[in-house]
Structure 1
Amino acid sequence: MHVYVEILIRTVLAILVLLLIARILGKQTISNMTFHDFVTSITLGAIAANLAFNELLKLTHLILALIVITIMSYLLSVIALKSRKMRSWISGSPTVLIEGGKILEDNMKKVRYTLDSLDQALREKGIFDIEEVNYVVLEDNGMVSVLKKDEYQFVTKKDMKLHPNGQVFPVELIMDGEVMEKNLENNGLTKEWLEREVRRKGKRISDVFYAARGTKQQLIFDFYEDGIQQSIDKE
């Protein structure tokens, strides 16, 4: 029984330590998996797994290893911010795969990127005909950025000389049935105003599961009772 308790404690400790490290290293580490982030993640995962399950290794040694890799990763991030040359070595650099509609075979060989992978990446961008593509760049986080040829690009309101409608950032007003009073206050709104808007729908605040003010100032409501007689459930 003692062994199970120790594993439980070590596992909880490993998760808490990883959460703390993620907070220290910042969102970049979890959003953009560059070379540096990949190595850091693999190393942290291996150490955390040993911290949780390997009883032969001392707890203090594993925590020390986690601290060292965290400091190293943080310092590498600082160095990458200070030096463009070092940033290219630490995090990698973008590689052009298609330029002017022409596939750059040498660049693709250099990064070991196949035509199948290129086709898949384009399909994920909604492009099924490579003829539409002007530029393709393989970013340092492994994602692909695509610039279509002029004739295949979407028309914008500016192209049509239309006046764009003013848009604002959406604001959640009610989440899980709870009024987000801080959001109301930060946007110059009041709970009384929200109650009036809900009453216009013939409802009360307690009937609302979710409410938000959209990008065009429109109000969006979702009620606990949606009036759907039978929902569609695909298995």
Structure 2
Amino acid sequence: MPEWILIAIRALGTLMFLFVLTRILGKKQISQLTFFEYVIGITLGDLAGNISTDVEANYFHGVIAILVWVLVPLVLELLTLKSKTLRGWFEGNGRVLIKDGKVLEGNLRKERYTGDELLEQLRTKGVFRVADVEFAMLESSGDLSILLKSENQPLTPKHLGMKLAIEKPTQAVMMDGVIQDEPLAAAGKSRGWLHTELDKLGVAKENVFLGQVNTDGELTVDLFDDKLQVPSPTERPALLACLKKCEADLELYSLTTSNIEAKHMYEACSIQLTQVIQQVHTILRA
């Protein structure tokens, strides 16, 4: 058998073998690696390359070596799930670099971190002044987690006392001109509704590159033809305008009626509707 065919077979077998082992190790092996996992990943790659191309070496000896390098970390990972001490040994612990708004220079030296490196890490988080940070910890993965001071944190609806509707995930109901039935059902919509919405927008199904239904049940599309302008959804602004019209009508009825009871009823309903409009104005205005 020619050597190139043998190498191709060995490489294909090793690739499939590593794929299975990586799935067994879990997603951590392909996300944020600890130092131990980083070393394992490099070693496995080197072993896989050697047994794939070294046709004179015993293939199964290489497989055994890979198994050892996989099974030992797997056993250790199962043990660390039950022991915090072992987790500290193998995965490391985070270290506080900024506390109560003050940089802990001693901890910086322990991590061999310079002031420039700290500022660089802060800038990657969108923070350009150390004085804005209340707390910062260098995680075992090497990532820097920060907590801004209260006055520097972003304003949220909770700070304003606003209650918003529960945000549901946006569903991609069309892709490459093809209707995706499962996301469409998850959005609580039907094909008939989708065709109606496309007719309202004046676009053909085949011209839709991506169609999404947001948490408010509105359809937004991106077309293959970028020159075509797609109108924005108008359901929410139209609903807000309708509520305001009802409010104005109630005020008008209260002014024009001569019946005292009816006047008070219209005024009370107008006040209630005004309160409702104030609560939903931010949501419907978008």
TM-score normalized by the length of structure 2: 0.74
Determine the C-alpha separation between the residues in 2 that align with 1:77 and 1:172.
37
Q: Match for residue 280 of structure 2?
A: none
Does structure 2 conserve the Cα–Cα contact (< 8 Å) formed by 1:121 and 1:144? Answer: yes
Asked if the contact 1:33/1:142 (under 8 Å) is kept, the reply is no
Extract unaligned runs of 5+ from structure 1.
229-235
Aligned residue for 1:210, secondary structure, equals strand
Give the secondary structure class of the aligned counterpart of 2:37.
Answer: helix
CA deviations on 1:71-124 (whole Å, 9 max, x unpaired) are: 222212211111111111111111111111111122122222222221111010
Distance (Å, rounded) in 2 between the aligned partners of 1:58 and 1:176: 48
| Structure 1 residue aligned with 2:39 | 39
**Alignment partner, residue 197 of structure 1:** 197
Q: Distance in 2 between matches of 1:12 and 1:203?
A: 46
Bigger relative CO (Cα 8 Å, ≥ 6 apart): 1
1:131-167 superposed Cα distances (whole Å, 9 cap, x missing partner):
1111111111111101111221111111111222431
The percentage of counterpart residues that share the same residue type is 33
RMSD: 1.9
- Aligned-pair distance for 1:219? 2.0
- Gap change, CA 1:91 and 1:184, over 3 Å in 2: same
Give distance in 2, aligned partners of 1:216 and 1:107.
Answer: 48
| Cα shift at 1:177 | 2.8
Unpaired runs of 5+ residues, structure 2, are: 229-286
Corresponding residue number in structure 1 for 2:59: 59
Aligned to 2:48: 48
Secondary structure in 1 aligned to 2:81? Answer: helix
Partner of 1:232: none
Matches within 5 A, 1:94-133: 94-133=94-133
- Structure 1 distance, partners of 2:143, 2:28, is 14
Distance 1:182 1:75, change over 3 A: same
CA contact (8 A) 1:195 1:204 kept: no
CA spacing shift, 1:179–1:72, aligned 2, 3 Å: farther
1:36 to 1:216, Cα distance in 2 relative to 1, 3 A: farther
Aligned to 2:146: 146
Letter in 2 for 1:144: L
> Separation in 1 of the partners of 2:178 and 2:59?
42
Partner SS state of residue 112, structure 1: coil
After TM superposition, list the pairs within 5 Å mapping 1:1-235 onto structure 2.
2-227=2-227
Preserved contact between residue 166 and residue 216 of structure 1 (Cα < 8 Å):
no
| Secondary structure at 2:36 match in 1 | helix
